Amino acid sequence: MVTEAKADRAYELRWWTLAVLCLSLVIVFVGNSSLNVTLPTLSRVLDASTSQLQWVVAIYSLVFAGLLFTTGAIGDRFGRKGALQLGLIVFLVAALAATRADAMWELIGCRALMGLAAAFIMPSTLSILINVFPPEERSKAIAIWASFLGAAGAVGPVISGWLLGHFWFGSVFFVNVPFIAAALAAGWFLVPTSRDPKQASLDPVGAMLSIVGLCSLVYALIEAPTDGWLSPVTLGASGFAIVVLTLFAFWELHLDEPMLDIRYFKIPAFSTGTGGMILVFMGMYGIFFLLTQYFQLVLGLSALGAALRTLPFSPIMLTVSPMTPRLSARFGAHRVVAAGMLAAGVGFALFTGIGIHSPYAYVLCCFLPFSVGVSLTMSPMTASIMSAVPARRAGAGSAMNDASRELGAALGIAILGSIAASRYASRLRHVIVNLAPAARHQARSSIASALAVAHNLGGASGAAVGHGARLAFLDGIHLACMVGALLAFASAGIVLRYLPHQVNTEVLVED
């Protein structure tokens, strides 16, 4: 009787519960995306080296991605509400500590703690959602959840840009504190407790293999653009990751209660949804990475100005994503996602036309189909992944969903960034041929370095180097976007063929 009363109350409060879950989600993504805007300030105020700036960004993804499967399993076993609350508390402590940091090593440590917190928060939000909402409402709830996830990443840089113009760098972290406190307090009353009723035993060997394998893979992707794809570090980390993750797969196949049942990948809804999610986030993070540099280094805008120009992505996500369940019900999930991939491909193709003097109206025309396309894909693919996993193991499905997003983000920056950087260096050769060797090496490393060289040269020579660097960088963006368009169009065909017509919100896999 008590259990039935709790279930009734959880059902009555389900939309309030979703609001708490979305707030928790926004905290994680705003807290992460806002840091990129802060890097120049950290370099100036804390005298941060290039290596330290790379690590203060990378450590979050490294810890977050590495722990996802483990934290998802812990939430299923011991309670998802407890995992969510623990993650919020750790995030709160890390954010407060970051506001007081006066050395880069302290800030890097705080960011690692935030990554740990996010690894508890992210899988918990989706797995709680799956267990709170009945099957007939689940797609709608997932669509709302996904819209906030996509929109939050574009809001963070704008908030940070404004704060940095008025307060000290620690305000970027302190702004999270009242929202975390609100999520904690509201979650205590509005989020129901849930866990795996069979209380599957933990898998310490699988946890260790997944942590080591995923950390190695993300590390290789982070280092590849800097060290090169064929460098010993990149090849060594990639090879080690492949070996360890293969061992993880074999280990999981031989367990009665695996942390991640590898057999899920035999289900088209799970495997196609996972692959599609990686490609969508690869495109989204890759284009944001390149456009942020385009706005600041080619058009000469401030960090806040650049962030404001990517802001239209948020309202489009919040408008289009909640519509996807109805569209999927009418036209089929596979057609909706394929149409989204095609729209994203069109956006990529249009981005190949941006230039030094492109009006923002043209950039907005590129953003529109790309943003709509991403909005159409995220919710149905999340629902597809989660439909293949029994509700009692929702943490494992959520962890896979989150891991695919994180890997996609790392791949987008690594691959599209490397393509753009390679074309940039190639196109720049004739521009810097008459410079001193040291200046040539500096200019080839990045467009920011080339503009610094141009500034030091001054006069007509400096102006020529600066103009040539901007044109070379644009060539790099054009090639990367061309590759992105081809990947998106190919993905549309794969999704149309293999993603199920309708995502079944009932449990598809029984243990």
CA dist., res. 442 & res. 444, Å (int): 6
**What 3-state DSSP class applies to 310?**
helix
With b meaning 16 or more CB within 10 Å and e meaning fewer, what string describes 238-263? bebbeebbeebbebbeebebbbbbee
Given this model, what pLDDT does residue 66 score? 80
Q: Measured between alpha carbons, how far is residue 208 from residues 40, 62, 70, 80, 119 in Å?
A: 36, 14, 8, 21, 15
Q: What is the largest CA-CA distance in the chain?
A: 83
Looking at the domain 268-511, which fold is it?
Growth Hormone; Chain: A; (1.20.1250)
CA dist., res. 304 & res. 236, Å (int): 38
Q: Smallest Cα–Cα separation from 507: which of 408, 425, 387?
A: 387
* Residue ranges of domains in the chain: 1-201, 204-254, 268-511
* Residue recorded with tokens 């949804």: 273
The pTM score is 0.83
CA dist., res. 33 & res. 154, Å (int): 7
Looking at the domain 1-201, which fold is it?
Growth Hormone; Chain: A; (1.20.1250)
Q: Smallest Cα–Cα separation from 118: which of 33, 14, 213, 51?
A: 33
CB 423 within 8 A of CB 481: no
| 103: phi then psi, degrees, rounded to nearest 5 | -145, 150
Given this model, what pLDDT does residue 508 score? 41
CB 343 within 8 A of CB 369: yes
CB 98 within 8 A of CB 111: yes
| 353: phi then psi, degrees, rounded to nearest 5 | -100, 0
Helices 333-351/324-331 angle, 10° precision: 120
One digit per residue, the tens of pLDDT, for the chain of length 511 reads 435 666 667 777 888 999 999 888 888 777 666 776 676 677 777 777 656 776 777 788 778 888 888 888 888 878 888 999 999 999 999 989 988 888 888 888 999 999 899 889 988 888 888 888 888 888 888 888 888 877 776 777 777 777 777 777 788 888 888 889 999 999 888 888 877 666 667 778 888 888 888 888 888 887 777 777 788 888 898 899 999 999 988 898 888 777 777 888 888 888 888 888 888 888 888 888 888 888 888 888 877 788 788 888 888 888 888 888 888 888 888 899 999 999 999 999 999 999 888 898 999 999 899 999 988 998 888 888 887 777 767 777 788 878 888 788 778 877 888 888 888 888 888 888 778 888 888 877 778 778 888 888 888 888 888 888 888 889 999 999 999 999 999 999 988 888 887 665 444 444 4
Q: What does the DSSP assignment read for 7-31?
A: HHHHHHTHHHHHHHHHHHHHHHHHH
The encoded tokens of residue 5 equal 């009363």
Domains 1-201 and 268-511 share a fold: yes
Output DSSP code: residue 359.
-
Q: Smallest Cα–Cα separation from 120: which of 187, 54, 34?
A: 187
CA dist., res. 191 & res. 183, Å (int): 10
Number of H helices, E strands in the chain: 22, 0
By the 10 Å C-beta count (0-12 exposed, 13-18 middle, 19+ buried), 51 is classed as exposed
